[in-house]
Amino acid sequence: MIRSNLEEKRDIKDDDDWCLMMAEQLSALNSATAQSLERSLHLPAVSHSPPSCSLDCEPLVDPNVAVDALAVRLEPRRKRSKYITNSCSECRQKKRKCSNVRPCAMCIVAGTSAQCLAESDTSTLYAQICDPKETWFQSVEDQEISLESLRHACLQVGVNITIVRALWELGLSASTLFRAFKILPLDLKTSMDEGIDRVKHIMSDKSKVLPDYKAVLCRQHAYGRLSNYGQNLPSDDVGLAVAKQERGVVEEFERVACNEYWGHGRWLSVEINRENLLSKRLKLGDEIAELLGYHHTEILCRHSNRDMPLQVSEYEILVTVISLLCQAFHREVTWYWRMMRRARGGSEGGVTHLKCTLHKMFDDQGRQYGYTITFDVTSLEEYEQFKNRYLPPGMRANPSDKSRDEQMTEESLMYLRKSRTAGAEKLSYLARLVRRWTTEGIMP
């Protein structure tokens, strides 16, 4: 518009005439804008004609009335959120937005949950150790606060809380899991989210679910626990279900969480509160310390601080999550690990191949009251056979003779993402497996 007016100025020789013409155009534009504003605010009409030269003329509209009408019809200004006065020292030092709970979401992401929790006078620890091989989880209120912080942290990072919670409850650091899972390819992350939504939808829409228990299921599904209704699962032993009715849930858990029941001490059991599906206590077998290379007390202390070391590769953790997802409707879930065992005294230990089995426990009404994970030492061939199910056909090979450090490095998700050929093909194949299970129900 200005450029065209400048061209018009070249045709007008008198500068005063050009100024008058521009003033008339601006006046017409202002008049049209004012009329549009009046129609939108329904203000009294105001004349936009040029003022008269008379000195005793009066305004057609009282300006105070127009201002009052405009102030009434405008929406109030949105208030900013309140400042957090008791933010943790880590957030104050790094100028982060604290969530005002202990531990806060930012400290969970950064891996400083222990420091954030230590400076609080009111919040309790993650767990209370009452026995060298047994620990009790925190109260219901404190667990709900911790889960809410974990949910906010997952939203900030962009990771589904269902992928994190099961491993987080077993003592792994959430920040370690975030660093691994937040760099997943978009197709794999989308397929896993779709699979998780499908599992939650089927679990919560079962016709046999009790009305009160259905609300608990939906609430815990939002916090990442994929718990099913036991009566909808295929029963393996009818006599065992009858025996559970005669015994109490606590007695049944004590009967299962022992070496005599499994025939060895390589197990860990978690008792779950049936009323809210929150964890109550953790028990360890006698041989679990020798298997992991830590003393029982150190394992419980690391578990209470969410500081368990990651002794398997990130790729195997991802395969474990996919196995738990695809077998969510089964009473037993099996996967395999190549564990880098630490020897006593801090020296480097060997490599152990384990067959891990998750056993879910339900009461007579179908409510889950716990689960047990057993670890059985297996052969390298059996481990490779399970691993090949999640590898592309062209990459299934014989056991590798690489060192443990090379295997851990090559199976980190960062290495797989940077590898444009083999690593990208592995992750893409996992996405296709999950998508095929979600749409067609075909197990990997």
Instruction: Tell me what pLDDT residue 58 has.
Output: 47
Give the whole-angstrom CA distance, residue 216 versus residue 368. 12
Average pLDDT of the residues of the chain: 78
Distance CA 271, CA 250 (A): 9
How far apart are alpha carbons 140 and 148 in whole angstroms? Answer: 12
Domains along the sequence of the chain with CATH: 163-440 (3.30.450.20)
Instruction: Report pLDDT for 59.
Output: 46
What's the pLDDT at 265? 94
Q: How confident is residue 283, by pLDDT bands cut at 50, 70 and 90?
A: very high
Q: Which of the four pLDDT bands, split at 50, 70 and 90, describes residue 371?
A: very high
By mean pLDDT, which of 44-58, 303-317, 413-427 is the weakest?
A: 44-58
| SS3 readout for the chain | CHHHHHHHHHHCCCHHHHHHHHHHHHHHHHHHHHHHHHHHHCCCCCCCCCCCCCCCCCCCCCHHHHHHHHHHHCCCCCCCCCCCCCCCHHHHHHCCCCCCCCCCHHHHHHCCHHHHHHCCCCCCCCEEEEECCEEEECCHHHHHHHHHHHHHHHHHHCCCHHHHHHHHHCCECHHHHHHHHCCCCHHHHHHHHHHHHHHHHHHHCCCCCCHHHHHHHHHHHHCCCCCCCHHHCCCCCHHHHHHHHHCCHHHHHHHHCCHHHHCCCCEEEEEECCCCCCEEEEEECCCHHHHHCCCHHHHHHHHHCCCECCCCCHHHHHHHHHHHHHCCCCCEEEEEEEEEEECHHHCEEEEEEEEEEEEEEECCCCCEEEEEEEEEECCHHHHHHHHHCCCCHHHCCCCCCCCHHHHHHHCCHHHHHHCCCHHHHHHHHHHHHHHHHHHHCCCC
Q: Within a 10 A sphere around the Cβ of 17, how many other Cβ atoms? A: 11
pLDDT reading at 93 higher than 70: yes
In angstroms, rounded to a whole number, what is the distance separating the alpha carbons of residues 227 and 329?
9
What does the H/E/C string look like for 160-193? CHHHHHHHHHCCECHHHHHHHHCCCCHHHHHHHH
Greatest mean pLDDT among 135-144, 194-203, 374-383 lies in 374-383
Amino acid at 266: R
In the structure, what pLDDT confidence band is assigned to residue 286 with cuts at 50, 70 and 90?
very high
Tens of pLDDT, residues 173-190: 888 889 889 899 999 999
Q: Is residue 135 within 8 Å of 128, Cβ to Cβ?
A: yes
For 53, other C-beta atoms within 10 Å of its C-beta total 6
Which carries the bigger pLDDT value, residue 325 or residue 6? Answer: 325
pLDDT band at 67 (very low <50, low <70, confident <90, very high): very low
Q: pLDDT at residue 236 above 70?
A: no
The answer to whether 223 and 196 have CB atoms below 8 angstroms apart is no
- The residue behind tokens 């999640």 is 390
Higher pLDDT, 150 or 83: 150
- Higher model confidence: residue 241 or residue 274? 274
pLDDT at 320 over 90: yes
pLDDT digits over 20-57, tens only?
A: 788 888 888 888 888 877 777 664 554 445 444 444 44
Q: What is the pTM of this model?
A: 0.74
Q: Is the peptide bond before 63 cis (omega within 30 degrees of 0)?
A: no
Query: pLDDT band at 266, cuts 50/70/90?
Result: very high
CA distances from 58 to 35, 44, 67, 70 (A): 21, 16, 18, 22
CA separation for the pair 356, 31 (Å, rounded): 78
User: Averaged over 243-257, what is the pLDDT?
Assistant: 71
Instruction: Return the pLDDT at 9.
Output: 46
What's the first-to-final CA gap in the chain, in angstroms?
Answer: 66
Contacts 24+ apart (CB under 8 A), 404-409: 404/340, 404/351, 407/313, 407/338, 408/313, 408/340
- Say how far apart CA 415 and CA 420 lie, in whole Å: 10
200 token code pair = 């939650």
Mean per-residue pLDDT, 59-74: 46
Cα→Cα distances 210→140, 200, 203, 412, Å: 22, 16, 12, 43
pLDDT at 1 over 50: no
Could you give the CA distance from residue 357 to residue 334 in angstroms, rounded to a whole number? 4
Q: Which residue has the higher pLDDT, 290 or 232?
A: 290
pLDDT in tens, 118-157: 776 555 455 677 778 898 887 888 888 888 889 999 998 8
In sequence order, the 6+-apart residues with CB closer than 8 A to the CB of 108 are: 149, 150, 153, 174, 175
